[in-house]
């Protein structure tokens, strides 16, 4: 895979993906908004994993920033072999009565940026006849939990379509669908994560490892852990009225993983 570009690489699942890729000797390009944190993570990766690391500070909700990431992805002299669309966040609000600007930012980061970066990477990779795209969706994709679930459902469906379109090109697309993972996600959304008890939690090491193993196999959908694969199977087959009843948005707009 050579060089991997990871969005949201400074925390949680993205940070763990970056470490595991570095341990597998991939060069890295780290994307996130906070420059100081990007610099610190890059330095640790260089020191402890001994790999080349570039940092690309960008707010993926902003078109000009997104275009700089596209430029890097399509650089003919410095090819990127793996794109990881991981950056994302919970909104911490209900849709009805919530702030529309926050909804638009979430759509821009978790849908538009995923589409724009995948378009750039898939084109460049298909021309070279090799490469991979890993898009982070969620088990929430199969629920009815507000706009976050809708964005993740888009990512899942989009990735499946992309994988079909890329068949025979040497390029693969994988959707990673984790359940609840201990990261900075819930605190960033202002959610008290003690609401959920022990066994529902996954750790980011396992989620990243299963996601990267799926990429290496060219697998299209990866749901880490038997627990969440079973939950997914139930969500896929249950009548939608039941899914809405059990896994529908709460009136408080509690953000979901």
Q: Is 228 part of the annotated catalytic residue set?
A: no
| 3-class secondary structure per residue, 120-177 | HHHHHHHHHCCEEEEEECCHHHHCECHHHHHHHHHHHHHHHHHHHHHCCCCEEEEEEC
Q: Which H, E and C letters describe 173-197, residue by residue?
A: EEEECCCCECCCHHHHCCCCHHHCC
- Contact segment (CB under 6 A) with ligand NAP among 56-64, 120-128, 220-228, 236-244 equals 56-64
Which of 32-40, 162-170, 214-222, 227-235 is the region at the interface with ligand NAP (rule: CB under 6 A)? 32-40
Determine the Cα–Cα distance for residues 177 and 77; give it in Å rounded to an integer.
33
Q: Does 60 bind ligand NAP (CB under 6 A)?
A: yes
Whole-number Cα distances in Å, 198 to 12, 19, 182:
18, 25, 10
Angle (deg, nearest 10), helices 113-128 and 63-73: 10
The yes or no reply on residue 6 touching ligand NAP (CB under 6 A) is no
CB of 170 to ligand NAP, least distance (A): 26
Q: Cβ closer to ligand NAP: 30 or 163?
A: 30
Q: How far is CA 138 from CA 29, 55, 129, 204, in A?
A: 23, 26, 29, 13
The reply to whether 20 sits near ligand NAP by the rule CB under 6 A is: no
* CB distance 175 to 221 below 8 Å: yes
Q: Which is nearer to ligand NAP, 131 or 255 (CB)?
A: 255
For the segment 109-138, give every residue that binds ligand NAP (CB under 6 A): 109, 136, 138
**Per the residue annotation, which of 148, 154, 185, 228 is the catalytic one?**
148
Interface residue with ligand NAP among 11, 118, 159, 223 (CB under 6 A) is 11
From 54-62, 68-76, 165-173, 212-220, give the range in contact with ligand NAP by CB under 6 A: 54-62
Structural contact between residues 168 and 147, judged by C-beta atoms closer than 8 angstroms: no
Task: Please tell me the count of residues contacting ligand NAP according to CB under 6 A.
Answer: 31
Per CB under 6 A, residues contacting ligand NAP are: 7-14, 32-34, 37, 58-61, 86-89, 109, 136, 138, 178, 180-181, 183-185, 188, 257
Annotated catalytic residues are 148
């Amino acid at each position: 895979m050579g060089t991997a570009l990871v969005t949201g690489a400074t925390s949680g699942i993205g940070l763990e993906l970056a470490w595991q890729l570095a341990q597998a000797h991939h060069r890295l390009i780290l994307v996130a908004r906070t420059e100081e944190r990007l610099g610190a993570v890059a330095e640790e990766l260089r020191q402890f994993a001994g790999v080349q690391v570039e940092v690309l500070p960008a707010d993926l909700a902003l078109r000009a920033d997104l275009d700089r990431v596209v430029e890097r992805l399509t650089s003919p002299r410095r090819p990127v072999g793996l794109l990881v669309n991981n950056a994302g966040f919970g909104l911490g609000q209900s849709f009805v009565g919530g702030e529309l600007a926050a909804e638009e930012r979430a759509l821009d980061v978790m849908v538009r940026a995923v589409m724009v970066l995948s378009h750039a990477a898939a084109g460049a990779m298909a021309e070279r006849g090799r490469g991979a795209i890993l898009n982070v969706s969620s088990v929430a994709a199969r629920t009815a939990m507000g706009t976050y679930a809708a964005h993740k459902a888009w990512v899942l469906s989009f990735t499946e379509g992309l994988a079909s379109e890329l068949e025979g090109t040497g390029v693969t697309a994988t959707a990673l669908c984790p359940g609840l993972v201990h990261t900075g996600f819930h605190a960033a959304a202002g959610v008290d994560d003690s609401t959920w008890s022990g066994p529902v939690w996954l750790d980011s090491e396992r989620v990243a490892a299963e996601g990267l193993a799926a990429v290496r196999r060219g697998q299209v959908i990866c749901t880490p852990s038997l627990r969440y694969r079973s939950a997914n199977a139930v969500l896929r087959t249950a009548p939608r009225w039941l899914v809405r009843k059990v896994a529908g948005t709460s009136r408080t707009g509690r953000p979901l993983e």
